[in-house]
Amino acid sequence: MLHKSSHWMKIVKLLFGALIVFSLVPTKHVAAELPPYPVTWSDHATLADQFGGSSKGLFVDAAGQYAYFGMGPRLVIADIHTDVGHVVNYWVSEPLHGQIEAIVVRDGYAYIAAHRAGMIIVDVSDPANMHEVGTYYFPNHFFDIILSGDMAILSTESYGVFFVDISDPTNPDDIFNYLNNDLYSFYSLVLDVEDNFLYAAGGEDGLVVFDLNYLNSSPPSIPTPVSVAVAGHFFRSIVKSGNTVYMGDTSGSMTSFNVSNLASITQVTDLDLTPASFYNGIQDIQVSDGTAYLAMGDGTAIYPKGEGGACRIAVSDSGVFSGSPICYTTGIDQQSADEVQLLNGQIYAAFSGGLRILNQTVTEITLSGGLLYDFLPITDVAKVDSLYYITDQANFTIYDSSTVRDTFAGDFRQVRPFTANQMKYAVVQDGDSRIRVLNVNNPDNISQASTITISGNVIDMEMAGTILFLLIDLIPGDNQLVSFDLNNPTVFALKDQDVMTETVKDLELFTWFSFGPGMTLKANRRAYVALYDNGIKVLNVTDPADMTLVEQVNFGGKKVYFLAASNTSQGLLSGSPTELYMCIDSCSTIAVYNPRDFSEGQKGTIDNAGTARDLLVKDDRLYIARIGGVEAYDISADAIAPAKTSEIELPGTMHHIRAGTANQVLTVSNESGVMVVNVQNEKIFLPLLMR
C-alpha cells in the first residue's frame, strides 16, 4: 500500500485553515462511447479511464476479414484481410460493462460472455461505431457462449447453463436455465447441431452431455445429463470431432473420449502435456485434419507466472495422440494463450498481450504478424502529475493516457515513486528479489540510477520521503524489514534490519506530525506488518537507522492478510493512527481496531462478503478494492462503523488500489488493466473550530 502522503496535506490544512505495437504500425480507431458503468449509493463515482488488460475471447470470421477479441473490458476488431497475416487497421470500443471471456459474431452483432456482467450484445456492423444494444444479466460468472438459431447458450461457474432468446438482439429474454445441485459449474461448450446434443467441460465433474431435443416442449425441459468424471482432472476446454470429444484440464493434460454411444462413453487416452504447457492449463482446443491445436497458459499470466503458448499435436480420428507437441511461445515475456482458431492454414491465437497470427510448417510454428498491446497484464501503477508509472512482466512504462513515453525492460511487480534532490525517481521490483531505482525525471528517457539484489523474495515495499522500506521473505532464514536511504539514488545506503520469524504478508506505513524543540515540525512513523497467522507487528521507524519494536498483537489465531491505517480529522496530532483496518480470516469482513490500545479488542466490522483484495485510506475515505469493483466509506464522522458513500462495479478482480490525483483512485486488475475512478470531491479539511 502507498505511503499516506495525504496526511501531510491534512496537517498543512489544519495549521493554516484558520488563516485562510507490433503489426506494421496499424491505425487505431476508437469507437463511439458506450453507456456508463452502473453506479449506486450517494457519492458520484465514475470510470474516468481504462487501459491495459488481458486478451481473452477470439472470433475470426470465416471470410477472413475481421478478427474479434477482448482487451480487458474492451472489444477489439482487427482488419486481417487487406494484408494476409498482418493487421493494418483496428478499432477499439470504449470499456464494456464486463470482462470479455468469449465472443461469437453473427449478422453484424457480437454476442459476448462477459464474466460477472452476463451477456453483452454489441452492434459491430460498422466497426468504427461499435455500440452496445442489449444485455442479459444474472449475478454469476459467465465463461462461454455458442449460438443455435435464435438461442444463445451460456455456461456459468455455479448456476449451470443458460438458454436465452436472442431473436431480438436488443431485448434478450429467458428460455430456460438448467441447474442441478450435483452438476452446476461449466466452462467451455460445444454443440453438435446434427443430433442436438450439447457437450460441456464441467471442471471436476468432467464431460457433461445435454440432450437439447426437449427444449421446444412446453414448458422447456432437459433430461438429466450424462456425465463422466476423471479423477484428478479439472476440465476447462472441450471440442468435438466426429465421435471423439477432446478435453483439456487446468494442469496441462488432454483427455479424449469416444461418444459414439452416449449410454457408454469410454475414455480413449489421457496425455500429460505438462512439459509443453509449462505447468499451466489447456485453455482452448481446436481439431482439424488430424491435428489438435491448443491454447496453453493460465489465462492471465499472473504470478507465479508460467510460460504458455500455441501448440499442436497429431491425433487420430479415434482420439489417439502421437508424436511430440510443437509449440510457439512469446519468449522472454512468457505470455499465456487463451484461445486459438485455424483459418487458411494459419493459427490465430489470443495471447495475454494481444493477437498473434502464426504460420506453421512441418517442424515449427512461427510468428507472422498480429496486434500487440502497449502492456502485458499490469502488476502495479502509480500516478505522478499527469503521468502513469506502470509495471508488467516485460516493462516499466511511463504512459500519459494516450501515448507510451518510454519503457525500461524487466520483470516488474511493484512501483513506488519518490523525489530526491528535486529529481523524480521510481523504485521498482524486478522479479522476486531485484530492486531498481530508475531516473524518470525525463519521461521520454528512462535510465537506471542503481540496483540491488536481495537474498530472498520481496513481499512488499513502501517509500517515506527518500527512505525505502522492504518487507523480505528470506530464502533460507528469517524474514526481515529492511530500510535504505535513497537520498543519493545511485547508492542503496542500508540503515537498519529487523528480523521476523513469522510469515509476512503486507506492510503499511503511517506518518503523523508533531512539534519538536523550537516548534520544528517533525514527522513520526509507524510500520505495521501483517504476519498472516501471527497477528501484526508494530515498529517505530521514525529513525530508519534504529527501527524498534513497539508491540506484537495476536488476534486469536485469525489470519491477517493486509491492512490500512488512518488518522481522521479528529486526531491528527494524536501520536498514532486512530484506526487500523485489517482483512482477517477469509476476508469475510474488514476488522476495525484502535491501534493505540489493542486490548480494547475489535471495535467494529465492515462486511464485504469475502471479496476484498486491498485497502486504501485517502482524504477521510476508506476504499476497498474487491472482486468486481470498489467501495468507499466515510471515516470522518464514524470511523468505527463508517457509512458506505459510493460503490462502482468494475470488470475483473481489483488486486490493488492506489491513490491517484486529487479526486481519483486507481485500481489494478490482471484481467482488466488499470481502471481510473473519479470519486466525489472529498470534504474540505478544516480545524474543528471552523466546523
Is pLDDT at 39 greater than 90 in this prediction?
Answer: no
Window from 16-20, 150-154, 347-351, 443-447 with minimum mean pLDDT: 16-20
Q: Are 542 and 503 in contact (CB under 8 A)?
A: no
- The per-residue b/e assignment along 79-117, b for 16 or more CB within 10 angstroms, e otherwise, is bbeeeeebbbbbbbbbbbbbbbbbbbbeeebbbbbbbbb
How many distinct helices (H) and strands (E) make up the chain?
2, 57
Q: Which three cell numbers stand for residue 140?
A: 454469476
CA 603 to chain CA centroid, nearest Å: 32
Confidence band for 252, pLDDT divided at 50, 70 and 90 = confident
Is pLDDT at 381 greater than 60 in this prediction?
Answer: yes
Q: Are 687 and 17 in contact (CB under 8 A)?
A: yes
Determine the pLDDT at residue 41. Answer: 36
Determine the pLDDT at residue 173. Answer: 95
Q: What is the mean pLDDT of residues 118-130?
A: 96
Confidence band for 10, pLDDT divided at 50, 70 and 90 = very low
Is pLDDT at 454 greater than 70 in this prediction?
Answer: yes
Is pLDDT at 5 greater than 60 in this prediction?
Answer: no
473 belongs to a structural domain: no
Pair type for strands 89-92 and 27-30:
parallel
Q: Are 392 and 377 in contact (CB under 8 A)?
A: yes
What is the gyration radius of the CA atoms in the chain, in angstroms?
Answer: 27
Phi-psi region of 137 (alpha: psi -120 to 50; beta: other; left: phi over 0): beta
Phi, psi for residue 137 in degrees, rounded to 5: -120, 135
Instruction: Compute the distance between CA of residue 244 and CA of residue 320 in angstroms, rounded to an integer.
Output: 10
Q: State the CATH number of the domain containing residue 248.
A: 2.130.10.10
Identity (one letter) of the amino acid at 541? V
575 belongs to a structural domain: no
Window from 173-187, 238-252, 446-460 with minimum mean pLDDT: 173-187
Q: In what order do the strands lie in the sheet with 142-148?
A: 142-148, 151-156, 161-165, 173-178
Confidence band for 44, pLDDT divided at 50, 70 and 90 = low
Confidence band for 278, pLDDT divided at 50, 70 and 90 = very low
Is pLDDT at 18 greater than 50 in this prediction?
Answer: no
Helix (H, G, I), strand (E, B) or coil at 643: strand
Phi-psi region of 562 (alpha: psi -120 to 50; beta: other; left: phi over 0): beta
Instruction: Compute the distance between CA of residue 391 and CA of residue 382 in angstroms, rounded to an integer.
Output: 9
Pair type for strands 46-51 and 39-40:
unpaired
Determine the pLDDT at residue 42. Answer: 36
Q: In what order do the strands lie in the sheet with 39-40?
A: 39-40, 643-653, 621-634, 612-618
121 belongs to a structural domain: yes
Determine the pLDDT at residue 477. Answer: 67
Q: Which three cell numbers stand for residue 480?
A: 526481515
361 belongs to a structural domain: no
Instruction: Compute the distance between CA of residue 261 and CA of residue 280 in angstroms, rounded to an integer.
Output: 32
Q: Are 308 and 331 in contact (CB under 8 A)?
A: no
Question: What is the H or E stretch that residue 238 is in?
Answer: strand 235-241
Is pLDDT at 7 greater than 60 in this prediction?
Answer: no
Determine the pLDDT at residue 85. Answer: 60
Q: Which three cell numbers stand for residue 582?
A: 485489517
Determine the pLDDT at residue 246. Answer: 97
Task: Return the closest-CA partner of residue 509 out of 530, 489, 535.
Answer: 530
Confidence band for 140, pLDDT divided at 50, 70 and 90 = confident
Instruction: Compute the distance between CA of residue 371 and CA of residue 85 in angstroms, rounded to an integer.
Output: 10
Determine the pLDDT at residue 396. Answer: 97
1 belongs to a structural domain: no
How many CA atoms are closer than 13 Å to the CA of 563, on its beta-carbon side? 33
Instruction: Compute the distance between CA of residue 301 and CA of residue 671 in angstroms, rounded to an integer.
Output: 10
Confidence band for 6, pLDDT divided at 50, 70 and 90 = very low
Percent of the chain residues past pLDDT 90, beyond the cut: 57
Determine the pLDDT at residue 557. Answer: 83
Domain count, the chain: 1
Instruction: Compute the distance between CA of residue 441 and CA of residue 419 in angstroms, rounded to an integer.
Output: 9
Q: Are 614 and 655 in contact (CB under 8 A)?
A: yes
8 belongs to a structural domain: no
pTM reported for the whole predicted model: 0.86
Window from 65-69, 210-214, 517-521 with minimum mean pLDDT: 517-521
What average pLDDT is seen over the chain? 85
Cβ–Cβ contacts within 10 Å for residue 549, how many? 11
271 belongs to a structural domain: yes
pLDDT single digits (tens) 82-92: 665 677 799 99
- The per-residue b/e assignment along 310-347, b for 16 or more CB within 10 angstroms, e otherwise, is bbbbebeeebebeeebbbbbbeebbbbbbbbbbeeebb
pLDDT single digits (tens) 591-630: 999 888 899 999 999 887 678 999 999 888 899 999 888 9
More confident residue, 312 or 280: 312
DSSP 36: P
Determine the pLDDT at residue 36. Answer: 40
Determine the pLDDT at residue 347. Answer: 95
Kindly provide the residue ranges of all beta strands, DSSP E only, lying in 516-603, ordered along the sequence: 521-530, 536-540, 548-553, 560-566, 579-584, 589-593
pLDDT single digits (tens) 513-548: 666 667 776 778 899 999 988 899 999 999 999 999
Is pLDDT at 413 greater than 90 in this prediction?
Answer: yes
Question: What is the H or E stretch that residue 7 is in?
Answer: helix 6-16
Determine the pLDDT at residue 179. Answer: 86
DSSP 16: H
Q: Are 678 and 77 in contact (CB under 8 A)?
A: no
| Dihedral sign (CA 124, 237, 269, 228) | negative
Instruction: Compute the distance between CA of residue 520 and CA of residue 539 in angstroms, rounded to an integer.
Output: 23
- The per-residue b/e assignment along 229-256, b for 16 or more CB within 10 angstroms, e otherwise, is ebeebbbbbbbbbeebbbbbbbbbbbbb
pLDDT single digits (tens) 562-592: 999 886 544 444 456 788 999 988 787 899 9
Is pLDDT at 634 greater than 70 in this prediction?
Answer: yes
Q: Which domain holds residue 84?
A: 55-278
Phi, psi for residue 42 in degrees, rounded to 5: -80, -40
109 belongs to a structural domain: yes
